[in-house]
Amino acid sequence: MMYDSTAPLLLTPVDKEAPSRVRRLRRLGIGLRPELAFDAFADRLAEITGAPYSMVNFIDENRQFFAGLHTPDALGGGSELTSAAAGDTAYRYMARDHGYCPHVIVRRKALVLEDVCDYPRFAGNPVVDEIGIRSYLGAPLIDRTGIALGTICVVDVEPRPWGRAGLETIKAMAAELIEQIHRREDGGI
Q: What is the per-residue pLDDT across 89-132, written as a single tens digit (0 to 9) for each?
A: 667 988 888 888 999 999 999 999 999 999 888 878 778 777 88
Burial (Cβ within 10 Å: 0-12, 13-18, ≥19) of residue 102: buried
How far lies 52's CA from each of 23, 35, 185, in Å?
A: 32, 19, 30
Task: Evaluate whether 112 touches 167 at the Cβ level (below 8 Å).
Answer: yes
Number of other residues whose CB lies within 10 A of the CB of residue 121: 16
Helix 18-28 to helix 163-185 angle (10° resolution) is: 60
Q: What is the pLDDT of residues 124-155, one digit of tens each?
A: 877 877 788 899 999 999 999 999 999 999 99
- On whether the 12-185 domain is CATH 3.60.70.12, my answer is no
In the chain, domain spans? 12-185
Model's pTM, two decimal places? 0.85
Q: What is the pLDDT of residues 15-35, one digit of tens each?
A: 999 999 999 999 999 998 999
